Structure 1
Amino acid sequence: MFKKILAAIAVTAGLLVAAPAAANAVDYTNGAQCSFDVSVVESGGSATLICIPGTWSPGEAIDWTVTGQNGASFKLASFATADSSLHFVKHANADGSDVLSVTLPASASGTYSVVGHGQTSGHECPATLTVLPADAASTVVDPGSSDGLAHTGSVVATWAAWMGGSLIVLGLIALALVAWIRKVKTTS
């Protein structure tokens, strides 16, 4: 009976370790999301929007729209208090990737939305960028982080880690119990 319990624990632990690896083995790049290389940038600074290979159809024309406070200042002048947009078309690379460099106006602040829409595939890829005003301190951490640490993209759910730890503790208790029962049987 004890060997069956240990086998079940070993199989469960193997599945918890192997499941994320199996999920990552599939190529999910077709229609993937694009993301900025930074989440927060100072006004007047720049950021790079990266779309991995397979996001777009090869050589596809992409309609890009940038929206935010004074957003048209990427190319045009506008009032600093009004949200405005800039629209342009750019072609994807032969592997379906794209890299878009964004330079923000010196008067930029708030959140900017950059949306790409593939003319052939119909795939839409939104991304946002938070801009600090020029007079703000540059020691701001990622707004999504409450502890100041980087998010590493772990694919193991918290409940799975707790379950794995609990199974290990239960296994150790079962081992101690079996050892105690054997000791009691040999002494009587």
Structure 2
Amino acid sequence: MFKKILAAAAVTVAVLLAAPTAANAVDYTQGSPCRFDAAVAKAGDTVHIVCTPGTWSPQEFIDWTGTGENGSSMKLVSFRTSASSVHFAKQSNADGSDLLTVTLPADATGVYAFTGVGRTSNHTCPASITVLPADSSAVTVSDPGSGLADTGSTMAVWAVWAVWIGGGLLAAGLVTVSVVFWARKVRAS
């Protein structure tokens, strides 16, 4: 019976130690090579679409299209249009990267989607951003350097620490029980 308990404890420890490795096996931050520098913005804000080097062919012209509520009042790099969506052509850098500056409408709300299409490579790259009304008091913006979306976790930090401390205490208790059983077995011999 004791061997079964030790085997179960060993498997549990192995799974707990392997979980972080498995989670890091896939690079979740890589997705579309073009992304907004913020996950959420306020109406009227200026945000940037950042395309990593190699996204486009060098010096390729990219046709950008932006859609969203009141999309005609969006500005792309000082360019304004009166259509229901905005269209803009821009040339990529020598390394295939691109940076597109977008000024959102003052009355923007909802999701705004942008799609870039390379004229020579035919590569399509979508990016989207959620826009909150300008009068909203709290805006959650992801770390622009991380490339990860801000998920807005509702779990308190103390709860995470409590789980880790509880797991550590459980592991320490299992080791203590194992040592006590082993010591009794040695004395009985």
Alignment of 1:77 onto 2:76: no
Deviation by residue 1:64-94 (Cα, 9 ceiling, x = unmatched): 101112212231236xxxxx21112112112
Judged with a 3 Å threshold, the aligned counterparts in structure 2 of structure 1 residues 107 and 181 are, in CA distance, closer, same or farther, namely closer
Judged with a 3 Å threshold, the aligned counterparts in structure 2 of structure 1 residues 11 and 94 are, in CA distance, closer, same or farther, namely farther
Deviation by residue 1:107-156 (Cα, 9 ceiling, x = unmatched): 3333211111122332221111222334x22323368425399xxxxxxx
Displacement of 1:35 in angstroms is 1.3
Judged with a 3 Å threshold, the aligned counterparts in structure 2 of structure 1 residues 148 and 53 are, in CA distance, closer, same or farther, namely farther
- The answer on whether the counterparts of 2:65 and 2:85 sit within 8 Å (CA) in structure 1 is yes
When normalised by structure 2's length, the TM-score is 0.63
- Distance (Å, rounded) in 1 between the aligned partners of 2:13 and 2:153: 35
- Distance (Å, rounded) in 2 between the aligned partners of 1:8 and 1:109: 50
Alignment of 1:147 onto 2:154: yes
Displacement of 1:12 in angstroms is 6.6
Displacement of 1:169 in angstroms is 5.6
Amino acid at match of 1:76: T
- Distance (Å, rounded) in 2 between the aligned partners of 1:115 and 1:137: 27
Alignment of 1:94 onto 2:101: no
- Distance (Å, rounded) in 2 between the aligned partners of 1:66 and 1:85: 6
- 5 Å-filtered alignment, 1:171-182, equals 173=174, 175-182=175-182
- The answer on whether the counterparts of 2:67 and 2:85 sit within 8 Å (CA) in structure 1 is yes
1:155 corresponds to: none
- Where 2:68 maps in the other structure, the secondary structure is strand
- The answer on whether the counterparts of 1:43 and 1:108 sit within 8 Å (CA) in structure 2 is yes
- Where 1:69 maps in the other structure, the secondary structure is coil
When normalised by structure 1's length, the TM-score is 0.63
1:65 corresponds to: 65
- The answer on whether the counterparts of 1:32 and 1:55 sit within 8 Å (CA) in structure 2 is no
- Distance (Å, rounded) in 2 between the aligned partners of 1:185 and 1:148: 44
- Distance (Å, rounded) in 1 between the aligned partners of 2:21 and 2:107: 49
- Distance (Å, rounded) in 2 between the aligned partners of 1:22 and 1:38: 25
- The answer on whether the counterparts of 2:62 and 2:92 sit within 8 Å (CA) in structure 1 is yes
Amino acid at match of 2:137: S
- Distance (Å, rounded) in 2 between the aligned partners of 1:146 and 1:14: 24
- 5 Å-filtered alignment, 1:158-177, equals 173=174, 175-177=175-177
5+ residue gaps in structure 1? 79-83, 150-161
Judged with a 3 Å threshold, the aligned counterparts in structure 2 of structure 1 residues 170 and 105 are, in CA distance, closer, same or farther, namely closer
Judged with a 3 Å threshold, the aligned counterparts in structure 2 of structure 1 residues 16 and 111 are, in CA distance, closer, same or farther, namely closer
